[in-house]
Amino acid sequence: MRKPRLLLLLTLPFLLQILGVTALVGWLSFRNGQQAVNRLAEQLMVSVSDRIVDNLTAYLQKPVQINQNNQLLVQQQLLTLDRLESWEQFLWKQVQLEPSINFIKVTNTDGVQWTGEKLESGDRLINIISPETGFHFHSYATDINGQRTELLTDLEVEDTRQGPWYQEPMQAKRRVWASVFTSFLEDTLLLTISEPVYSPGDDQPDGVINTAVRLNSMGTFLKELEIGTTGQAFIVEQRPDNRGMLLATSTGEIPFRVNNGERVLFPMQESADRVTQAVSQQLLDRFSDLGQIQQPHQFEADLTVEAELIQSQRVPHFIRVQPLQDPYGLRWLIVTVVPEADFMAQIHINNRRTAMLSVGALGLAALLGLATARWLEKPLSRLSQASHRFAQGNWEQRVDVGRSSTVEVEQVARAFNSMAQQLQDSFETLEQRVADRTQALQLEQQKTEDLLLNILPAPIAERLKHSSESIAEYFEEVTILFADVVGFTVMAQTLSPLELVNLLNRIFSRFDDLAEQFGLEKIKTIGDAYMVAAGLPLRRQDHAQVMAEMALAMQAAIAEFQSETHHSFQIRIGINSGVVVAGVIGSKKFIYDLWGDAVNVASRMESHGEAGRIQVTESTYEQIKAGYQLACRGTVEIKGKGRMKTYWLLGKKPLPQGLLSSCP
């Protein structure tokens, strides 16, 4: 029997092994790559959709807030719907606060209408329909002070109360979004939020407030998004006729067309972009009614797209559709599309590299198999095993190649053993240094976090860590307390500065504990004065009640300090409730502070009060009178405010017979 040649015996198994392993690794790599692509695509599209939803939610909240603020002004009787001419300057100024707002319109039940309008060109208009215009539509240009300068338009119009923007909120008796429509004056889409307006104590609306926001910035936002390499996103409006009207797209396509001089919306399947057309058809085929899409859906589909230099071909795409809805009738769909090729390109490159490496490895094994097998098989096997165990974390692994190895292999083994020892020593040292540094960094980070939380409220500190922009928020319902230690100046003449500061620190530390106990926000201390607020940065309904508890607890704490220290001093407290703006401004030495007339009035309540007593305004009195005992102080002359009716907060226990609880 003819024996096989040694070259064949040594080379063939290596060749088959290399070929088999390469094929298996390549196949597993491709499969794992596809699975990773699917996960990555899902994460990317969810992330993009969430970013779009967050952006749109914040963007559309602005007109809602404007309507809410105007509603609040009517409720507080600062503005009324029976005299809309008093709204003119207010609407002219208010429409300038947000660049995205197109107009703010107020209409009463008599058909009288006042509108503040702002164009992208910078023009500011006042539009009026009233008896003085003969119920014609008059549009006036204005100067920089909001005064009418020129009548631009005089149109005879039908009864404005017959439009859906008026009828729908009046019938629903709640806030509603209207369908998106095109502007007559600008190249943009508009969306209007409408809601009925009620006077205090009325159950029938006195009219309607409408605020319109421009939607042209949505397309700009989508265009700037990074959606894979060639991905797209577009937004459509769900309408009852199952027509998804295109509102914005990342391709830069204008979401309306001009027919006979009129701008009109068009369905998404009529888009000029081939991908948008194909995705729209997929949605219509997959969902017989677009209105039934209530949850996010993600799927794959082959879309026919145009390719360079070749005929149109079907290309796999990942598609995600996510609804955007709110309680006011908003029904939009956010569609994200990413070609599979955006993720598979690197996988195809790796497959080609694997094939080339396989061919090279096969050739090398065939040439060197016989020459190296006899001398290197055993020592290299031991070296390979030691390397493998070393890579798995066995740092004490060493190589003994024996006497049969060549000089070169023996040198490699010695070098390996030396390297293993050095790496073991270095790794142990590095591990210890990393552990020490990590612990030190964690301690420093905790110190920094604690220091920041001592300076700013937790929500504000969290926002500052992620953004360097100024932070300011509007709070409609807040209660502010100012307190001043009376008699502290006299004590300063008998105590050393250190004793005085220590005593003040004990008092304010006790106040800080009370503020934390009641969930209040300490704002600042000024000398021997103390300021605290309730209802911010986290809003709460019982802000006035919890501040009353705080004031009573502060009185009790001062009484304890008097007993402990045998010093004669008292505390004078003033409380007011109202609207404030709170935030952090500037870029150095942050401080969380409050601004607004409500803050000034609270300070006046303290400065115009009496030692040992708690003076509250009428707004605070109305909120706490049901659960607390108050006595009317009467009308007091307040600096900068004139005469104001104020009350003394006495406690929660019943008062003796004959003590006043309200002013005549």
Q: What is the pLDDT of residues 501-524, one digit of tens each?
A: 888 888 899 999 999 999 999 988
- Give the per-residue pLDDT at 37: 66
Angle between the N-to-C axes of helices 458-466 and 407-455, in degrees from 0 to 180, rounded to the nearest 10: 130
Q: Are residues 92 and 157 in the same domain?
A: yes
Amino acid at 173: K
Q: Are residues 162 and 253 in the same domain?
A: no
Q: Domain with 189 in it: what CATH number?
A: 3.30.450.20
Per-residue confidence band for 469, with pLDDT thresholds at 50, 70 and 90: low
Does the pLDDT value for residue 537 go beyond 80? yes
The tokens describing 195, both together, are: 């809601």
Q: What is the mean pLDDT of residues 215-233?
A: 85
Does the pLDDT value for residue 223 go beyond 80? yes
Strand segments, DSSP code E, in 374-528 are 471-486, 521-526
| Greatest mean pLDDT range, 111-115, 441-445, 490-494 | 111-115
Q: Are residues 129 and 83 in the same domain?
A: yes
Which of the residue ranges 23-37, 122-136, 278-292, 314-328 would you say has the lowest mean pLDDT? 23-37
In a domain, 46, yes or no: no
Q: Quick one: which of 152, 116, 118 has its CA closest to 136?
A: 152
Q: Are residues 221 and 209 in the same domain?
A: no
Query: pLDDT tens digit string along 480-496?
Result: 999 998 877 677 677 78
Q: What is the mean pLDDT of residues 644-663?
A: 72
How far apart CA 132 and CA 84 sit, in angstroms, is 12
Residues of the domain holding 620: 469-651
- Give the per-residue pLDDT at 660: 46
In a domain, 603, yes or no: yes
**Number of domains comprising the chain:** 4
Does the pLDDT value for residue 104 go beyond 90? yes
Q: Are residues 498 and 541 in the same domain?
A: yes
In a domain, 366, yes or no: no
Q: Are residues 451 and 518 in the same domain?
A: no
In this structure, the dihedral spanned by the alpha carbons of residues 622, 623, 627 and 632, taken in order and rounded to 10 degrees, is -30
Query: pLDDT tens digit string along 254-288?
Result: 888 888 878 888 888 888 888 888 888 888 888 87
- Give the per-residue pLDDT at 187: 84
Q: Quick one: which of 156, 104, 96, 161 has its CA closest to 127?
A: 104
Does the pLDDT value for residue 329 go beyond 70? yes
Q: What is the mean pLDDT of residues 102-124?
A: 90
Name residue 649's beta-bridge partners.
614, 630
In a domain, 163, yes or no: yes
Q: Are residues 543 and 614 in the same domain?
A: yes
The tokens describing 634, both together, are: 């009467």
- Give the per-residue pLDDT at 659: 47
Q: Are residues 486 and 609 in the same domain?
A: yes
Query: pLDDT tens digit string along 594-642?
Result: 889 999 999 999 999 999 899 999 999 999 999 999 999 999 998 888 8
Per-residue confidence band for 235, with pLDDT thresholds at 50, 70 and 90: very high
CA angle centred on 90, ends 88 and 95, rounded to 5°: 100
How far apart CA 426 and CA 21 sit, in angstroms, is 34
Q: Are residues 275 and 176 in the same domain?
A: no
Picking from 405, 433, 455, the residue at the C-terminal end of a domain is: 455
In a domain, 660, yes or no: no
Query: What is the chain's mean pLDDT, rounded?
Result: 81
Does the pLDDT value for residue 7 go beyond 60? no
- Give the per-residue pLDDT at 451: 54
Does the pLDDT value for residue 306 go beyond 90? no
Q: Are residues 210 and 252 in the same domain?
A: no
pLDDT above 90 covers a percentage of the chain that reads 29
Which of the residue ranges 189-193, 249-253, 461-465, 584-588 would you say has the lowest mean pLDDT? 461-465
pTM of the predicted protein model: 0.50
Picking from 180, 214, 248, the residue at the C-terminal end of a domain is: 214
Higher-pLDDT residue of 7, 361:
361
- Give the per-residue pLDDT at 445: 64
Q: What is the mean pLDDT of residues 321-348?
A: 83
Q: Are residues 424 and 558 in the same domain?
A: no
Picking from 407, 431, 455, the residue at the C-terminal end of a domain is: 455
The tokens describing 212, both together, are: 């319109």
In a domain, 308, yes or no: yes
Which of the residue ranges 196-200, 470-474, 627-631 would you say has the lowest mean pLDDT? 470-474
How far apart CA 167 and CA 329 sit, in angstroms, is 15
DSSP helix/strand/coil, 630? strand
Q: Domain with 603 in it: what CATH number?
A: 3.30.70.1230
Sign of CA dihedral 73, 79, 85, 88: negative
Does the pLDDT value for residue 658 go beyond 70? no
Q: Domain with 286 in it: what CATH number?
A: 3.30.450
Which of the residue ranges 11-15, 139-143, 332-336 would you say has the lowest mean pLDDT? 11-15
Higher-pLDDT residue of 661, 120:
120
In a domain, 11, yes or no: no
Length of the chain in residues, anyone? 664
- Give the per-residue pLDDT at 301: 85
Q: Are residues 299 and 316 in the same domain?
A: yes
In a domain, 240, yes or no: yes
